[in-house]
Amino acid sequence: MSTRIAKALAEDRVGLRIDVRPLAMHCRLVAAISVLLVDDSRDFLRIAARFLEAHEHIAVVGAVDNARDALAELPRLRPDIIVIDLEMPEVSGLETIPQLRAELPQAGIVALTLLDEDAYRKAALDAGADAFVSKDRAAADLLPVVRRVAEARRAGTPLDPRRGVSEERPP
């Protein structure tokens, strides 16, 4: 992968660099959900990758620390789901979501942020995200939201955006 983050994840997990392309192809054969993580926090990328991959039928095929690398890696990785932080330096996730949607319309997009406010939720959904998850609730909400978005995308059914947020907050 082209970023230091992805290389660090690969080296950290198996002790050597790996090419994720065969993994991405394998995901499609066994119906696993392939995920691209986009966040400027290296710690979050590492934790989220480990958390998601600890669950059956989830494969993190990429982890990048900025929007430009996400757009560059998209044609090669072709993830089922893109989990993107809204607040990043240079180009925000909010600005990037419409570009991701245009480049890979079949992918599900989950917006993620520390700022769990109605205005951010509405802006993310209006930009083209399928769901919104607060980082404060990521441990409880990220996995079920990723699965729901992937199922809806595969079935070609619309997703109720209210189901993509914490059940404890009203839509």
- Kindly report, residue by residue over 116-130, the tens digit of the pLDDT: 888 888 999 999 999
User: What pLDDT is stored for residue 116 in this prediction?
Assistant: 80
User: What pLDDT is stored for residue 113 in this prediction?
Assistant: 87
Q: What is the pLDDT of residues 5-60, one digit of tens each?
A: 455 555 554 433 445 555 555 444 456 999 999 999 999 999 999 999 999 899 99
Given CA atoms 83, 86, 87, 93 in this order, what sign does their dihedral have? positive
For the entire predicted model, the pTM comes to: 0.77
CA atoms of 108 and 148, how far apart (whole Å):
10
Q: Is 132 helix (H, G, I), strand (E, B) or coil?
A: strand
Q: What is the pLDDT of residues 68-87, one digit of tens each?
A: 999 999 999 999 999 999 99
User: What pLDDT is stored for residue 108 in this prediction?
Assistant: 96
User: What pLDDT is stored for residue 160 in this prediction?
Assistant: 62
CA atoms of 78 and 144, how far apart (whole Å):
21
User: What pLDDT is stored for residue 8 in this prediction?
Assistant: 52
Burial class (CB in 10 A: 0-12, 13-18, 19+), 27: buried
Name the superfamily (CATH) of residues 4-155: Response regulator (3.40.50.2300)
Domain ranges of the chain: 4-155
Task: Determine the straight-line distance between the first and last CA of the chain, rounded to whole angstroms.
Answer: 37
User: What pLDDT is stored for residue 2 in this prediction?
Assistant: 39
Quick one: tokens of 159?
């997703």
CA atoms of 62 and 87, how far apart (whole Å):
19
Please report the beta strands in the chain, taking only residues with DSSP state E, as ranges in sequence order: 33-38, 58-64, 81-85, 108-113, 131-134
Mean pLDDT, the chain, whole residue set: 81
Quick one: tokens of 86?
């809204």
Q: Is 126 helix (H, G, I), strand (E, B) or coil?
A: helix
User: What pLDDT is stored for residue 161 in this prediction?
Assistant: 54
